[in-house]
Amino acid sequence: MSSDTVESEYPVCNWAPLCPHHELRHGGDALYVEGVGHIAQYHCYLDMLWSHGIPYFVRDYIFKEINLRVARGAKPKDVRDLVARLGSINSKIWAYEEECRCKQ
């Protein structure tokens, strides 16, 4: 295998690691990708936590992880940290939803 050969389970036409893909650059703040839709090129999901439902995703993930561990026989002390995280995120979700109700 030469150093120019790239092995991948996906088809690779061109390998240029860490090189910008200039064809994807767009002057606005969102890029349209056929079959996907608009993708914000310069936005950060940390700035859009609530509008994109990320805390709900995290809550559901933690809840499923707790249930999975308990189903596998984990003891309460083994999931204590996850339960604390779940309680914390539920409190933040409740506060956010309460703030939204007050604005209506």
| Spans of all domains in the chain | 54-103
The yes-or-no verdict on residue 18 having pLDDT over 80 is: no
CB 39 within 8 A of CB 30: yes
pTM of the model: 0.58
Q: What is the DSSP string of 34-81?
A: TTTEEEESS--GGGGTTTTTHHHHHHHHHHHHHHHHHHTT--HHHHHH
**pLDDT tens per residue across span 59-74:** 999 999 999 999 999 9
Residue 86, number of CB atoms within 10 A of its CB: 19
**pLDDT tens per residue across span 74-94:** 999 999 999 999 999 999 999
